[in-house]
Structure 1
Amino acid sequence: MNALIRAADLSVSHGGADLPVLRHVDFRIDPAEIVTVVGPNGSGKSTLVRALLGHVAAQTGRVDRLPGLRIGYVPQRVHIDRAMPMTVRRFLSLPVRVSDADARAVLERTGVPGLEGRQIGALSGGQFQRVLLARALLNDPQLLVLDEPTQGLDQPGIVAFYQLIEEVRAQTGVAVLMVSHDLLVVMRASDRVVCLNGHVCCEGTPQAVSAAPAYRALFGMDAQGTLALYRHHHDHDHDHVVEAGHHVHGPDCAHEHHHRDHHA
């Protein structure tokens, strides 16, 4: 199977710093796969996404993308003046106008039908996230990239959003790359989880990563809660997913995490 994006020995530094933000990271995402990257603040999650998309340069290693790869992107933060008059329909046509039929179809797919005439500033947080997702789906992407997509949502809204992502993948076959800190729900929506702390600490199916010492060292009690939720609610398995490079460097991850906390 050809990977949509593959990174090998990827290291990235910011501003010429001697200490890389990412160190020797190997990564891949295949068609129709949902991969979630988790890690503490400052672990390089968003930097990895930007490097995979070609927005920042690699210091070492390489990133290969499938030629002509169509990507839909929901960034971590979207700043819109809520006092500015703009309808959802107009927002969906920025920067390229889309047809009424296409706008209607993506809003229906993301669970917010009939919002075309609503002002952007009048949307709830959950509605706005779904409109952002709808906009990302307009070009029929092969890969959907979501960088912390549920910031500002309450727990029911977070769960509903990840359920929607599963439904969109089932309907369209799009692959999904998510960056998330929502440990208690994100596992449910993932085929594979990559735990990052400057390097790949552990990687594999959600159940395998939840049980990995490196993951538990990083997230403590949250990791136990994630595993309990996964066992209780996960109603299908991903045994077919190969746990690529399921390597665990628990002591390194734990040491780096506590070292950063000490200097925070």
Structure 2
Amino acid sequence: MEKENILEVKNLTVVLDGETLLKDITFSVVEGEALSIIGPNGAGKTLLFRALLGFIPYKGEITWRDGVKIGYVPQKFLVERSTPITVREFFLLHSKHFWAPEKSFVGHLSHELSLVGLSKEILGKPMGEISGGQLQRVLVSWALIDHPDVLLFDEPTAGIDVGGEETIYTIMHKIQDEWGTTILQISHDLNMVYRYTPKVLCINKKMICNGAPQDVLSPKELSKIYGGSAFYHHIDS
């Protein structure tokens, strides 16, 4: 049976302080699909996420499927090394579980932690002492607590080494496979876009292209997205 759209966006335009930052963006996302959003810095990618989450005013239409639950993993979540709370205490800040018995809550977390490749031992570590890759996986686990239908990842591998990038993308793919979660991710890594997402939305304040990466990421389109003589050569593995 053909899956329905979980998200439809029509003629989305964002104007802030008199400046048009996004203009006439139209696309749809099928339930269980993975979509990458690419574009240069300042293209409006994070702004698009903010509009999808209802954080900023916009013109046009954004229609989520009725009853959809959305999880969000931010691009940056700075933690000072002196931050006194542990990973366990960070999770207990989740509003839904703040008053839950700790043993029950930790048991609830077991699957989310294992899904992102973390053991329960990390719960006792101070937030300021875990690595960037571990922090990113903790944030993914946090976003998974309520079993969302959709996960929005804003540059999920920013500031992580190459090995960590591969791990995060593998985790995203695993979440999609095991839970049927719809994935929307902002990315600068075209190689990972080719490998992990069947559709790509290309924007630079307006929509440049939308479709399968191998069909729409031609040198001509990449030049429209990034300017100049942008070129990317993909070799099928």
TM-score where L is the length of structure 1: 0.80
Give how far 1:216 is off.
4.4
Aligned partner letter, 1:157: G
State the match for 1:261 in structure 2.
none
Runs of 4+ in 1 over 4 A off after TM superposition: 219-223
State the match for 1:257 in structure 2.
none
Mark the CA change 1:137 to 1:221 in structure 2 (over 3 Å): closer, same or farther. farther
Give how far 1:141 is off.
0.4
Structure 2: segments with no counterpart, 5+ residues: none
Structure with the largest fraction of strand: 2
State the match for 2:4 in structure 1.
2
What number of residue pairs does the alignment pair up?
Answer: 226
CA offset digits 1:95-122 (Å, max 9, x no partner): 3226111222211111111211111111
State the match for 2:27 in structure 1.
27
Give how far 1:193 is off.
0.4
Aligned partner letter, 1:105: H
Distance 2:219 2:200 in 1: 11
Contact 2:73 2:140 in 1 (8 A): yes
Ranked by relative contact order (alpha carbons within 8 Å, sequence separation 6 or more), the top structure is 2
Select which of 173, 185, 188 maps to 1:181. Answer: 188
State the match for 1:110 in structure 2.
116
State the match for 1:120 in structure 2.
127
Aligned partner letter, 1:81: E
Select which of 103, 107, 115 maps to 1:101. Answer: 107
Distance 1:162 1:123 in 2: 19
Counterpart check, 1:141 vs 2:148? yes
Aligned partner letter, 2:52: L
State the match for 1:68 in structure 2.
67
Cα RMSD between the aligned structures? Answer: 1.8
Structure 1: segments with no counterpart, 5+ residues: 233-264
CA offset digits 1:60-93 (Å, max 9, x no partner): 3111112221011001221333312211111112
Distance 2:82 2:230 in 1: 38
Mark the CA change 1:158 to 1:221 in structure 2 (over 3 Å): closer, same or farther. farther
Contact 2:72 2:151 in 1 (8 A): yes
Aligned sequence identity (%): 33
State the match for 1:260 in structure 2.
none
Aligned partner letter, 2:75: Q
Aligned partner letter, 2:116: T
Distance 1:140 1:127 in 2: 20
Contact 1:201 1:215 in 2 (8 A): no
